[in-house]
Amino acid sequence: MHSHSFRSSVTLYRNGTLTLAQAARHAGCSEAAMTEAATTRSARATSDTGGTALSRSVDV
């Protein structure tokens, strides 16, 4: 799995551009892995930086 396509997939999933299944296929991972990445990294970004949109997208 390439990190750029994974980060892009997480971002597109969070923005509602891709469904969970589409994002997972795009990233080359399971839906469970995509869900975990989208929720875990989002929560970490929010708690670490105060939750600005810029920090969330950069942290992915």
Q: So what's the pLDDT on residue 3?
A: 82
Instruction: Select the more confidently predicted residue: 15 or 44.
Output: 15
Global pTM reads 0.63
Could you read off the pLDDT of 16-28 as tens digits, one per residue? 999 999 999 999 9
CB contact set of 59 (below 8 Å; sequence gap of 6+): 41, 44, 45, 48, 49
Could you read off the pLDDT of 17-59 as tens digits, one per residue? 999 999 999 999 999 999 998 887 654 444 444 444 433 444 4
